[in-house]
Structure 1
Amino acid sequence: MESSQLLFFLSALGAFNGFILSVYFAINAQKKIFANYFLSLLLLVLSIRIVKSVFFYFNPALSNIFIQIGLSACILIGPFLFLSLKPNLDAQKHNWIKHIVPYLAVITILGILYPYTKYRVIWSLGIVNAIYLQWLVYILLSFRYIFPMIQKIKRKESLKKIEVWFLSIYLGVAFIWLAYATVPYTSYIVGALSFTFVLYLIILLLIFRNSDESVFFQEKEKYKNKEMDIEMQRIIGQKFAVIIEKELYLNPDFSLEEASKELKITKHLLSQYVNEILGKSFSNLIKEYRIEKAKKLLKTEKNFTLESLGYDSGFSSKSTFFTAFKKTTGLTPAEYQKAHSE
């Protein structure tokens, strides 16, 4: 009995907090970009689906209307995931209509013509399977917005906090889909428990990652109304030269945080200077310095192996060095050395 109550508490807790976060994000999204509304709606429809699962599992005599609403909510999970991850949606605000309205119309018509009360078999074998298939299709469509983040991980580049958030949301929704898709082989309550687990894992992940960046929402303008004056630019520029003079970038673990400590500048100001004044991200700028160092070594050194040369230029691995060098110069290190050997 106690284990059953604990199971109910854990599964219902995720749904409840999902509703709370949905409202919270919707309110805060008023000052954010348009796509963030769909993040709020994604949590809402997921929570509706989870509530239905929880109460149906513990009360099979649940009203059929409530079951129909819970199942119908699933048809919007995929589109809301896609729209919350889609870049540049702010400039294409009407594009969401084709991803939402047709599905709402179809599920409404099906609900009227084939109510769950009278057509349980049709829902169980046809409509629900179609909804899960549509959900999967949108997960696959959304992958293209996640793929660049996965590539960054493969290159051992650090992700922005907003990228960590998006990747977590994507993987969480995919995991919940998998939990429901495998219900015939597991238990009906697994989907609800998965939602609770994923929700709290994402929240904890973000709470314990201190950052000056926005976590839950992507700001339209990161440094809006905080323009850097000329004197501050001059001071930071002078200090920034130390990175090149001391070749601090040769440390493979050299980061924005390390640079701010070395130069005695706040991470926020240093990031703003690099982004606004130099027009680059900090990681890309450091990569450029390392490539220039590698080019000098390739021209002058004969006894280096290409792998050791990459390490001596500040790269953490051979693959990272080769990939970055080819992308920047259009040549492999060996081709560059052959073309520029003295």
Structure 2
Amino acid sequence: MNSLNLNFYNILIVLGIVHGIIFSFILFFNPKLKSKTNIFLALTILALCFSNLQYWLLDVGLSPGYENNNLIFIPFEFLMVPMFFLFVKSYLKNDFKKHHIFLLLVPFSSAIFYQILTDLARVNSKVIEFFNLVIEYGSLLFSLVIIFLVFKNIRDYEKKVANDSFNEIPITVTWLKRILIFGFFLCILWLLSLTVFESYFPSGYYQYYPLWIGISVLIYWIAYTSIFQNSIYEERGEIRNRIIKSRITKDQDTSKNQNKLLEIDELSENINPNKFSEINNLILKRRLYLKPKLSLKMISKQTNLSEGYLSQIINSNTDNNFNEYINNMRVENAIKLLLDDDYFKYTITAIGLESGFNTKTSFYNAFKKITGHTPNNYKKLVQNH
């Protein structure tokens, strides 16, 4: 038996594979993590792992090559992106039917059927190698199409949640977009591995190392970010419920609040364009600043004032542009939650997102710009005084 072709890079790759498989089985069998969304997440990670594993076995010499005509090649490439598509659909709470799953699995099933036929017919290894290359290019194109469809689903979701009420918690999708961009980058690496890199590495599988390492990074990224985002979403649900309950309690303390709530709906028709306070009250009472996608256009529709005139009113009364004006409200809301003992157990990220910021980064940047401190430091400073 020949010695194994082990090196730093394929050891790094196999560590990612092992880690991904363990993580997937935790998702499958841990009752606290068991859900339809996590099942699709686990299947996505397993498809990535087994795709890398298959090629890794070839690279280190534990699997026979094409020349022996007995290589069992399973096209996991046709499963990776479809499983991620189903994960995103489930994560965004979008319905999908069984026939959608069937259609997504047709390419994978067809490729498996082809593999069985070529194995039974004992087709020449050169022919098999050629058709496997055709399948590889086909799976690359298929992956790009699914990436586009996933991005379209995310964009449709963003348009939908822009008009949702306060009671609806928007799901953070920025990390999904970043993964899609990284996935597109991997597709480019994939194409380069099949074309350009091959001329630099005529023997072995070294031309695929950048791609395989990239997939290993993707395994870690999807696994941990998805669990973290799910945890943040659950925290936001708890925070939102606490806020709603506290508002209901306050409303029950005085009957005047009922009249105030009715007056809010009339503000858009009766607003005085010369009074900044009425515009300010509209945003505060309707808690519009908690909408991550809030824009001048949305305020314009509710006040029947032009975007330019609204911007002028806000700027002349606050010396801030619209984004700065709204971020001040959001930071003020975040400070109240950060210093409230009822919200002590929740992460700062969850509080920032519940205050209307779209990402952790935008929250931290705005908070530091307005207060001169990071949220963590601000909380410590106040608690120590």
Please indicate the TM-score interval, normalised by the length of the shorter structure. 0.5 to 0.7
Question: Following the alignment from structure 1 to structure 2, what is the Cα–Cα distance between the partners of residues 29 and 94?
Answer: 28
Q: SS at the partner of 2:233?
A: coil
| TM-score (normalised: structure 2) | 0.52
Aligned equivalent of 2:322: 314
**1:161–1:234: structure 2 CA closer, same or farther, 3 Å change rule?**
same
Residue 77 of structure 1 contacts residue 135 of structure 1 at CA under 8 Å; is this kept in 2?
no
Residue 296 of structure 2 contacts residue 307 of structure 2 at CA under 8 Å; is this kept in 1?
no
Measured after TM superposition, the shift of residue 182 of structure 1 is 1.9
1:235 aligns with 2:250: yes
C-alpha deviations, 1:215-263, integer Å up to 9, x for none?
9xxx9xx56995877654353998x99xx7894999xxxxxxxx9xxxx
RMSD: 5.4
Measured after TM superposition, the shift of residue 73 of structure 1 is 2.0
Question: Following the alignment from structure 1 to structure 2, what is the Cα–Cα distance between the partners of residues 44 and 70?
Answer: 16
Residue 172 of structure 2 contacts residue 229 of structure 2 at CA under 8 Å; is this kept in 1?
no
1:78 aligns with 2:72: no
Question: Following the alignment from structure 1 to structure 2, what is the Cα–Cα distance between the partners of residues 9 and 171?
Answer: 26
Aligned equivalent of 1:325: none
Q: SS at the partner of 1:54?
A: helix
**1:37–1:90: structure 2 CA closer, same or farther, 3 Å change rule?**
farther
C-alpha deviations, 1:49-100, integer Å up to 9, x for none?
1012222122175366999555422222232233223366545244312221
Residue 290 of structure 1 contacts residue 315 of structure 1 at CA under 8 Å; is this kept in 2?
no
Residue 69 of structure 2 contacts residue 124 of structure 2 at CA under 8 Å; is this kept in 1?
no
Letter of the 2:248 partner, please give it: Q
Q: SS at the partner of 1:213?
A: helix
Residue 144 of structure 2 contacts residue 184 of structure 2 at CA under 8 Å; is this kept in 1?
yes
Question: Following the alignment from structure 2 to structure 1, what is the Cα–Cα distance between the partners of residues 70 and 210?
Answer: 17
Aligned equivalent of 2:127: 122
Aligned 1:93-172 pairs, distance under 5 A: 93-100=98-105, 102-115=106-119, 118-147=123-152, 162-172=172-182
Aligned 1:207-222 pairs, distance under 5 A: 212-213=232-233, 222=237
Among residues 186, 197, 215, which one is paired with 1:195 in the alignment? 215
Aligned equivalent of 1:44: 46
Paired residue total: 276
Q: SS at the partner of 1:191?
A: helix
Q: SS at the partner of 2:323?
A: coil
Question: Following the alignment from structure 2 to structure 1, what is the Cα–Cα distance between the partners of residues 231 and 31?
Answer: 19
Letter of the 1:177 partner, please give it: C
Residue 81 of structure 1 contacts residue 142 of structure 1 at CA under 8 Å; is this kept in 2?
no
Residue 52 of structure 1 contacts residue 67 of structure 1 at CA under 8 Å; is this kept in 2?
no
Greater gyration radius: 2
Question: Following the alignment from structure 2 to structure 1, what is the Cα–Cα distance between the partners of residues 213 and 60?
Answer: 13
**1:16–1:245: structure 2 CA closer, same or farther, 3 Å change rule?**
farther
Aligned equivalent of 2:23: 21
Letter of the 1:106 partner, please give it: S
**1:37–1:310: structure 2 CA closer, same or farther, 3 Å change rule?**
farther
**1:236–1:120: structure 2 CA closer, same or farther, 3 Å change rule?**
farther
- Identify unmatched segments of 5+ residues in structure 2: 163-169, 198-206, 265-276, 325-385
Measured after TM superposition, the shift of residue 18 of structure 1 is 1.8
**1:174–1:27: structure 2 CA closer, same or farther, 3 Å change rule?**
farther
Residue 49 of structure 1 contacts residue 70 of structure 1 at CA under 8 Å; is this kept in 2?
no
Measured after TM superposition, the shift of residue 48 of structure 1 is 0.8
Measured after TM superposition, the shift of residue 14 of structure 1 is 1.3
Measured after TM superposition, the shift of residue 163 of structure 1 is 1.2
Aligned equivalent of 1:183: 193
* Larger RCO of the pair (alpha carbons < 8 Å, separation 6+): 1
Q: SS at the partner of 2:119?
A: coil
Residue 48 of structure 2 contacts residue 76 of structure 2 at CA under 8 Å; is this kept in 1?
yes
Question: Following the alignment from structure 2 to structure 1, what is the Cα–Cα distance between the partners of residues 172 and 31?
Answer: 15
1:282 aligns with 2:297: no
Question: Following the alignment from structure 1 to structure 2, what is the Cα–Cα distance between the partners of residues 66 and 84?
Answer: 36
| TM-score (normalised: structure 1) | 0.58
C-alpha deviations, 1:152-208, integer Å up to 9, x for none?
99xxx9xx6641343244334433333333224221222221112233345676788
Residue 315 of structure 2 contacts residue 322 of structure 2 at CA under 8 Å; is this kept in 1?
no
Residue 14 of structure 1 contacts residue 196 of structure 1 at CA under 8 Å; is this kept in 2?
yes
Aligned 1:241-256 pairs, distance under 5 A: 247=280
